[in-house]
Amino acid sequence: MYRMLLHAALLCVAIAAVVLTTGSVMSPPDVHKKMSLSSPAFKDGQPIPADYTCDGKNISPRLNWTGPPAHTQSLVLIVDDPDAPSGVWTHWIVFNLSTDTSDLVENYTKSSPAPGAKQGTNDFKKFGYGGPCPPAGKMHRYFFRIFALDTTLNLPVGATRKEVDAAMAKHVLAMGQLMGTYQRK
């Protein structure tokens, strides 16, 4: 029991340290429970097809995940670009996804949202998904992350990344990640 409480306390401290030092929950170091996140559109570490970028249809790719812990209350999806010239650039935030959900359809932003799910404001200052759009000639990495939380977030539609990170900081149970790259010609 003592070890479990100590582990939980260390997890909270680690996530808080990440949030305080970087302003985001990019990769909590002590989240031992891993989830699987994938897309039929691209494989981990591979290029993201142009349809999912500002050079194409600028629609979200289909995403699938497995492995949230049994006591998960909600899921959060965050997509960001750590290679942006101005620092980490958030492309998409979806929070309060139901634990019954194991995927998001392609073009989710323009589709009917999952019941109870809310989308935040990205760094383009728009609601929903904003695809990769790096400076020409520069290869950027795009991290799609799914977080399992022990709570739902009491935030409004359009919440910012900073608000979502702060609300979920002490509640992350597990995380999955998919990284894709994109380079404009």
Report CA torsion sign: 36, 165, 92, 158: positive
Distances (CA, A) of 61 to 50, 53, 104: 11, 10, 8
What is the domain extent for residue 74?
Answer: 2-183
Buried b (16+ CB within 10 A) or exposed e, 46-78: eebebebbeeeebbbbbbebebbeeebbbbbbb
Determine the average pLDDT of the residues in 128-133: 95
When divided into structural domains, the chain yields a total of 1
Q: Tell me, what's the pLDDT at 112? A: 66
185 or 171, which is more confident? 171
pLDDT of 58-114, one tens digit each? 999 999 999 999 999 999 999 999 999 999 999 999 999 999 999 999 999 766 667
Alpha carbon distances (Å) from 155 to 13, 15, 116, 147, 175: 23, 19, 12, 16, 20
Q: CB 14: neighbour CB atoms within 10 A?
A: 15
pLDDT for the residue 22? 43
Q: What is the mean pLDDT of residues 146-170?
A: 96
* pLDDT, the chain, mean: 86
- CATH of residue 23: 3.90.280.10
Residues 6+ away with beta carbon under 8 Å from 169:
12, 15, 16, 19, 25
Rounded distance between C-alpha atoms, residue 100 and residue 97, angstroms: 8
Percentage of the chain modeled with pLDDT above 90: 76
- Can you give the pLDDT at residue 29? 43
Kindly report the pTM of this predicted structure.
Answer: 0.82
pLDDT at 48: 98
Q: Which residues pair with 37 in a beta bridge?
A: 65
At residue 160, the pLDDT reads 97
